[in-house]
Amino acid sequence: MVAMRAHEAKRHDLVVIGAGPGGYVAAIRAAQLGLDVACIEKEPRLGGTCLRIGCIPSKALLESSELFYETVHALAGHGIVAKDVQLDLKAMLARKDGVVDALTKGIAGLFKKHKVTRYEGLGRLAGGTQVEVVDAQGQPSARIEAQHVLIATGSTSAAPKGIEFDGDRVGTSTEALSWPTVPQHLVVIGAGAIGLELGSVWRRLGAQVTVLEYLDRILPANDAEIAKEAQKILAKQGLEFRLGAKVTLARKNQDGALVEIEGQEPLRCDRVLVSVGRKPHTDGLGLDKVGIALDARGRITVDAHFATSAKGIYAIGDVIPGPMLAHKAEEEGVACVERIVTGYGHVNYDTIPNVVYTHPEVAGVGKTEEELVAAGIPYRKGSFPFLANGRAKALGATEGKVKILAHKDTDRILGVHIVGARAGDLIAEAVAAMEFGASSEDLARTCHAHPTLAEAVKEAALAVDGRALHI
């Protein structure tokens, strides 16, 4: 980074605050469209939460821990004898760090390629469309005058009352990605994506894992039937679920941590992962300087084109309403800058997939069955179990199913929900089909390679019309 003095105002067409998937992708797209773009990021490494301390490192650990688990528990079934299998946690964590490192450097390379100017520091709105860059000591290090400002500052872990984070025994996903030893007993608070993914990692490495969930079900954003099936599968892997458990306190004590649950006996454990949601990150952004107000949940309100109430200032990603997902932020970033430059830019919120990277994965797009019932939309439903899929059998991955919901009268696909191996990849076909307004008949008549897991999607589409072939 070039050292800059505060009085030297720099001019750019667009300044993006935050280099997470929303911000850095928007910066690249804007540069492709010919804008002179700057991006301010407070962390030394680009990529945001997703890349540094979220999606990417967790996926690296999910892969490694799954390999370890398979080696110990499943290889014998394939006729492979692996003796004296040992865990080298240090090496596993180092590999994860290497993956992150390579990808963050990749973004720095992309910035260079697209001539995006990078400023290191905290971006602070300074009135109009001026932005100050503040260094780690709180001193302004640069002043930028831009035509447009894009806020892409993401989110941070929510910290509910009664939870005392100490950076060691009671922590968030950030700490849970780097614990130096396998906990004996890990208590996970919240059965959303983060809790289930990281709970799975440590379970596979040998921890006893108890998941406490306030609601009477896990994965509240997913289709209930699919979530129930996922719960059954994860419970078989040894995750202990306690539903209807409202945690009121979690703190470090002499020999580990203590977790108090409303109306139940407290739990003692050696580590606690708090994964009860995330909140928009707007600290130190200076929103008051430009008159941008937050809604009741701390989110920046924007119009259909991501414009805030302040002229020339836009916001995308976790900091605005909608699912807190990296790919949603990316889509918004691209649409926002395309609109600024070309006058057009659009995100189809009906086709944003969500994936939980447990083993097997849980993925969904479109409406859940509960949502259709609540909205009184008539539908037909087709399901197909992986147990009846040849490739799943060969892979030894027969758990789970595909479920397709289509409109009763028009047959248009309204939702697709999968729990099963590689569900996160399989869902892409459903997303593309829905993007083109496909009917279940369209999917059912699409030739799928044999033998593949994707045939289960075709079979579920056939099942909507009661004509699945392999069951």
The residues annotated as belonging to the active site are 450
For 99-125, the three-class secondary structure string (H helix, E strand, C coil) is HHHHHHHHHHHHHHHCCCEEEECEEEE
Binders of ligand NAI among 216-245, rule CB under 6 A? 220, 245
Out of 212, 272, 406, 416, which residue is the one contacting ligand NAI (CB under 6 A)? Answer: 212
> Would you count residue 195 as binding ligand NAI (CB under 6 A)?
yes
> Would you count residue 246 as binding ligand NAI (CB under 6 A)?
yes
CB atoms closer than 10 angstroms to residue 3: 8
CA distances, 412 to each of 350, 363, 424 (Å): 13, 19, 22
CB closer to ligand NAI, 125 vs 176? 176
Contact status, residue 116 vs residue 37, Cβ threshold 8 Å: yes
Alpha carbon distance 221, 279 (integer Å): 16
Shortest spacing between CB 246 and ligand NAI, in angstroms = 5
> Would you count residue 62 as binding ligand NAI (CB under 6 A)?
no
Out of 167, 277, 321, 437, which residue is the one contacting ligand NAI (CB under 6 A)? Answer: 277
CB neighbour list of residue 269: distance below 8 Å, 6 or more residues apart: 183, 184, 185, 186, 187, 210, 256, 257, 259
DSSP3 helix / strand / coil % (the chain, rounded to 5)? 35, 25, 40
Alpha carbon distance 417, 366 (integer Å): 8
Shortest spacing between CB 128 and ligand NAI, in angstroms = 33
> Would you count residue 325 as binding ligand NAI (CB under 6 A)?
yes
> Would you count residue 190 as binding ligand NAI (CB under 6 A)?
yes
Shortest spacing between CB 464 and ligand NAI, in angstroms = 26
CB closer to ligand NAI, 218 vs 463? 218
Out of 125, 194, 315, 334, which residue is the one contacting ligand NAI (CB under 6 A)? Answer: 194
Out of 29, 118, 278, 403, which residue is the one contacting ligand NAI (CB under 6 A)? Answer: 278
Q: How far is CA 262 from the centre of its chain?
A: 29
CB closer to ligand NAI, 356 vs 454? 356
Out of 51, 131, 191, 463, which residue is the one contacting ligand NAI (CB under 6 A)? Answer: 191
Contact status, residue 292 vs residue 280, Cβ threshold 8 Å: no
CB neighbour list of residue 70: distance below 8 Å, 6 or more residues apart: none
Alpha carbon distance 72, 74 (integer Å): 6
Out of 68, 202, 357, 384, which residue is the one contacting ligand NAI (CB under 6 A)? Answer: 357
**Strand partners for 415:** 366, 405
**Secondary structure class of 403 (helix, strand, coil):** strand
Measured from each CB, the residue nearest to ligand NAI is: 192
Binders of ligand NAI among 128-167, rule CB under 6 A? 160
Of 212-220, 251-259, 284-292, 333-341, which segment contacts ligand NAI by CB under 6 A? 212-220
CB neighbour list of residue 81: distance below 8 Å, 6 or more residues apart: 75
> Would you count residue 213 as binding ligand NAI (CB under 6 A)?
yes
Alpha carbon distance 213, 226 (integer Å): 17
> Would you count residue 44 as binding ligand NAI (CB under 6 A)?
no
Shortest spacing between CB 327 and ligand NAI, in angstroms = 9
Tokens of 50: 């997703």
Out of 117, 141, 308, 354, which residue is the one contacting ligand NAI (CB under 6 A)? Answer: 354
Contact status, residue 461 vs residue 444, Cβ threshold 8 Å: yes
Cis peptide before 353 (omega within 30 of 0): no
Out of 149, 150, 189, 434, which residue is the one contacting ligand NAI (CB under 6 A)? Answer: 189
Shortest spacing between CB 340 and ligand NAI, in angstroms = 27
- In the block, tokens 């528990």 appear at 73
> Would you count residue 426 as binding ligand NAI (CB under 6 A)?
no
> Would you count residue 215 as binding ligand NAI (CB under 6 A)?
yes
> Would you count residue 276 as binding ligand NAI (CB under 6 A)?
yes
Shortest spacing between CB 154 and ligand NAI, in angstroms = 10
Instruction: Give residue 15's identity as a one-letter amino acid code.
Output: V
Tokens of 203: 């379970």
Shortest spacing between CB 383 and ligand NAI, in angstroms = 23
Contacts with ligand NAI by CB under 6 A lie at: 160, 189-195, 197, 212-215, 220, 245-247, 275-278, 323-325, 354-357
